Amino acid sequence: MSKLSKKFEAQLKAYTQGGAPDYAQRVANLKKLLAAIDVWEDRIVAAISSDFASGELGGRSSHETVIAETFMSKSDLKHTLKHLKKWMKPKKVATAMHFKPARSEIRYQPLGVVGIISPWNYPFQLAIVPLVAALAAGNRVMLKPSEHTPNTSALLKDMLAELYDDETVYVALGGVKVASAFSELPFHHIFFTGSTMVGKIVAQAAAKNLTPVTLELGGKSPVIIDPSADLGVAAKRISVGKTMNAGQTCVAPDYILMAQKDIQVFADKMISSAEELYPTIADNPDYTSIVSDRQYQRQMDLLDDARTKGANIMQAGSDSDNALAASRKIPLSVILGATPDMRVMQEEIFGPLLPILSAETPEAAIAHVAKDDRPLALYWFGNNVQNREKVLDGTLSGGVAINETVTHVAQENLPFGGVGSSGMGAYHGEYGFQTFSHARAVFHQSKFSSAKMLYPPYTIKTDKLLKTLKKFF
């Protein structure tokens, strides 16, 4: 038996023997994680930065790490601690008249032993937030963080091993081989965050065990700028969402659709907004590096491909190519004249490249979005309510932000998840609790069972009763 299988079996045994942890145990599990994030915060910031750094140069902005990793994880933990008692409470639901006085309720029970697979782009938060939901729901958890951020993954292992025994939370480190063996374990649920391509492989592995999956995937998230939009406000908010983590965000704006006549003015505003946010790039600790040479080369290849096929590229800042390459940083790069045969229009960009395309009407924008896979996010900027509703009704995406980018993800009362090729299932707040719980239907028959009146042998009395009941159905 492999080490992974042994760890799984140990968790399964503990679950079978120990049953569901009660409210107090779950609160204790969550509270120690909340306290640990504060204690470990400096080490978390340093580990993530060293994972993103190019040798001694570049790294991950410490502010971005606090905002998008530790703060977001703590905020989710606090929200969960505040509401968990209510979420765990059985929910009474109505019972149909002809079954009364019986009663019905839904009880939320832990699924058992669950697996979480997380990516490199927000390597702490995207491991911790699903873990919070899984522990709140009373599960035992095995976590497989990304091999592309090895320092953060090692930190997660050390930090979580200090808080929990292996039967409660176990962290498995490793690359594709470990990930692949991990997804073949007969978990009661697998929660995967990563690319659509790997999501399909995980779903296939899970299907062999009939393990249900939540897939938090990627895709090309469009921005639609209505003619009624304030272009200055839109440019600022889009550049913030696009340059955060240097575009390495699953819900980063991927491309823009707007009226042709405004494109050049808007592109200029995008560049000046980005330059206000980051007056310099290479030596600026606020601007994050591309995570690896491979990902950096991919962005460069996308740019070269667009340039060769005739696109016009505008870049923010005036840093030298050498300084940028040494720190593995790429400035916001607006791509004008992008065509469908360019790779930037065929793949999820996942970096600071931003094609701007023309769509003259809401209908044209809707048609453009509809011919691609369903995106994880969609952004709409404008003030014309009719056009806004037209776009909301005519498109489908995991989530939407109106006159904003990215921040819908931080709303704990909204579900976060994709649709179609951007994923299935959702989490955050109560949605995460429900994802990791089984909503069990419980029916309580009363001493007097009205159903008895419909037992065989069927008689004239039954026929009369059915005739009366038919009036109600």
Any idea which residues carry the catalytic annotation?
216, 250
Smallest gap from residue 105 Cβ to ligand NAD (A): 32
| Binding of ligand NAD by 350 (CB under 6 A) | yes
Distance separating alpha carbons of residues 430 and 215, to the nearest angstrom? 17
Pick between residue 212 and residue 317 the one whose CB is nearest to ligand NAD.
Answer: 212
Binding segment toward ligand NAD, per CB under 6 A, in 198-206, 226-234, 311-319, 384-392? 198-206
Sites for ligand NAD among residues 246-275 (CB under 6 A) = 250
110 and 139 Cβ atoms separated by less than 8 Å: yes
Smallest gap from residue 145 Cβ to ligand NAD (A): 6
54 secondary structure, DSSP code: B
Pick between residue 273 and residue 288 the one whose CB is nearest to ligand NAD.
Answer: 288
Alpha-helix runs per DSSP H in 118-149: 125-136
Sites for ligand NAD among residues 121-150 (CB under 6 A) = 121, 126, 144, 146-147
Smallest gap from residue 402 Cβ to ligand NAD (A): 20
Pick between residue 215 and residue 282 the one whose CB is nearest to ligand NAD.
Answer: 215
| Binding of ligand NAD by 117 (CB under 6 A) | yes
| Binding of ligand NAD by 112 (CB under 6 A) | no
| Binding of ligand NAD by 218 (CB under 6 A) | yes
Question: Whats the size of the chain, residue-wise?
Answer: 473
Q: Which of 173, 201, 233, 326 binds ligand NAD (CB under 6 A)?
A: 201
Using alpha carbons, select from 75, 56, 57 the residue that is nearest to residue 66. 75
| Binding of ligand NAD by 118 (CB under 6 A) | yes
458 and 465 Cβ atoms separated by less than 8 Å: no
Using alpha carbons, select from 306, 314, 310 the residue that is nearest to residue 270. 314
| Binding of ligand NAD by 423 (CB under 6 A) | yes
98 and 469 Cβ atoms separated by less than 8 Å: yes
Distance separating alpha carbons of residues 83 and 435, to the nearest angstrom? 16
Smallest gap from residue 142 Cβ to ligand NAD (A): 12
Helix (H, G, I), strand (E, B) or coil at 467: helix
| Binding of ligand NAD by 119 (CB under 6 A) | yes
Q: What is the DSSP string of 371-429?
A: HSPPPSEEEEE-S-HHHHHHHHHH---SEEEES-SSGGGG-TTS-B---GGGEE--BSH
- Contact footprint for ligand NAD (CB under 6 A): 117-121, 126, 144, 146-147, 176, 179-180, 183, 193-195, 198, 201-202, 216-218, 250, 348, 350, 376, 418, 423
